[in-house]
Amino acid sequence: MQDVARLAGVSVKTVSNVINDYPHISPTTRSKVEKAIGQLGYEPNLTARNLRRGRTGLIGLALPELKLPYFAELADSVIVAAEKRGLRVLIEQTNSERAREIDVLHGSVRHLLDGLIFSPLALGQEDVRQLRVDYPLVVLGERVFDHGNDHVTMSNVEAARAATTHLIDLGRTRIALIGSHAGEVVGSAALRERGYVEAMIRAGLALDRDLIRETGLWHRETGADAMRELISSGVAFDAVFAMNDAMAIGCLHALHEAGLRIPEDVAVIGFDDIEDAAFTSPTLSTISPGRQQIADESVELLHRRIEAKVKGGGEPEQFVRIDADFELIARESTLGRGQRPA
């Protein structure tokens, strides 16, 4: 900056004013400084400038695993939403490990960030103290509630109830549930299982625990394995609600292996509406959980908190919880070949 000032014949302060686009700089002076900047190839230290302003322009997004299509697509949506607000995104993959989730919240990297969007899977309600931080934080998901931060989540119970009801309305009565987590009280699995149970009870259908199949992680492989086990068990079923699309795709694969027709023999519905769902054979019916809304709302909430912190003063806004809207997308795996989404 001193070199630019010498070449332009102005003070360092004037150079700073031009770089920061302050008003009341004469066109002649501005032109001289910009010409000197061009000649010297000077590039302002944006990091230092942002730190002086109390922000870095960088936010964090901590997700369990990018291998799952839903989280990869969510990351893409968050990046787009952040760019619209002049923010860049640093993505952290926690692999659903407790130590890594805590490190994301309290480790050294957080000092580089203006705020964090955090989707925990290892931490639970008993860890609420870990979420009491001194920087802007938006929590995603269903693992922790009442934590004193903005929270964006899905309508899991209602959406799972709608998925199951869709199968019931098609005349299916022996509906398998794939992806249960035994003993889980909070979290996506517990909430979606609750929606499934509520739909079955409302329809007056018997609950057969043999139709509820546990898995570990919600991957294509675990969905296929659970479906193979159900088929080999001999338990009768005419429909499947897989608690995410990755497992639903695994179920489709296992059903094809067994020579079962979809949906004639077994109707299948998933959850997440990932891009692949529209390109399976048959195309996959699913729940669209409002991924774009989740991304937009979480970034907007975080941006609002960051701006308020930089400006300082005044009473902080109350923390809010947003339950994203969902939509049932009915495709060939429940309606039959050649059917378009409802």
Q: Residue 13: which pLDDT band, with cuts at 50, 70 and 90?
A: confident
pLDDT in tens, 258-312: 999 999 999 999 999 999 999 999 999 999 999 999 999 999 999 999 998 877 7
Note whether residue 56 is domain-resident: no
Number of domains in the chain: 3
Report the percentage of the chain scoring pLDDT > 70: 94
Same domain, 138 and 224: no
**pLDDT at res. 136:** 94
With a cut of 60, say whether residue 322 has pLDDT above it: yes
Note whether residue 41 is domain-resident: no
- Tell the residue number behind the tokens 């994203």, with chain if given: 324
Convert 138-164 to b/e letters by CB count within 10 Å (16 or more is b).
Answer: bbbbbbbeebebbbbbbbbbbbbbbbb
- How many CA within 13 A on the CB side of residue 11? 4
Same domain, 178 and 272: yes
Spatial neighbors of 185 by CB under 8 A, at least 6 apart, are none
With a cut of 90, say whether residue 318 has pLDDT above it: no
CB-based burial label for 236 (10 Å; 0-12, 13-18, 19+):
exposed
Domain that holds residue 80: 65-154+306-318
**pLDDT at res. 309:** 83
Alpha helix segments (H runs only) across 141-187: 156-169
pLDDT greater at residue 318 or residue 264: 264
Same domain, 160 and 273: yes
Same domain, 164 and 274: yes
Same domain, 149 and 162: no
**pLDDT at res. 48:** 54
Note whether residue 42 is domain-resident: no
**pLDDT at res. 316:** 63
Q: Tell me how long the chain is.
A: 342
Q: Residue 173: which pLDDT band, with cuts at 50, 70 and 90?
A: very high
pLDDT in tens, 198-214: 999 999 999 999 999 99
Instruction: Centre a 10 Å sphere on the Cβ of residue 91 and count the other Cβ atoms it contains.
Output: 15
pLDDT in tens, 249-270: 999 999 999 999 999 999 999 9
Convert 170-192 to b/e letters by CB count within 10 Å (16 or more is b).
Answer: bebebbbbbbbbeebeebbbbbb
CATH code for the domain of 120 = 3.40.50.2300
Mean of all residue pLDDT scores within the chain: 91
Note whether residue 202 is domain-resident: yes
With a cut of 90, say whether residue 155 has pLDDT above it: yes
Note whether residue 284 is domain-resident: yes
With a cut of 60, say whether residue 40 has pLDDT above it: yes
Same domain, 162 and 280: yes
Note whether residue 197 is domain-resident: yes
Which 8-state DSSP code applies to residue 285?
Answer: B
| 3-class DSSP state of 284 | coil
Evaluate whether 138 touches 115 at the Cβ level (below 8 Å): yes
Note whether residue 124 is domain-resident: yes
Global pTM reads: 0.82
Q: Residue 314: which pLDDT band, with cuts at 50, 70 and 90?
A: low
Evaluate whether 330 touches 170 at the Cβ level (below 8 Å): no
Same domain, 313 and 285: no
With a cut of 80, say whether residue 52 has pLDDT above it: no
- Tell the residue number behind the tokens 């860049």, with chain if given: 88
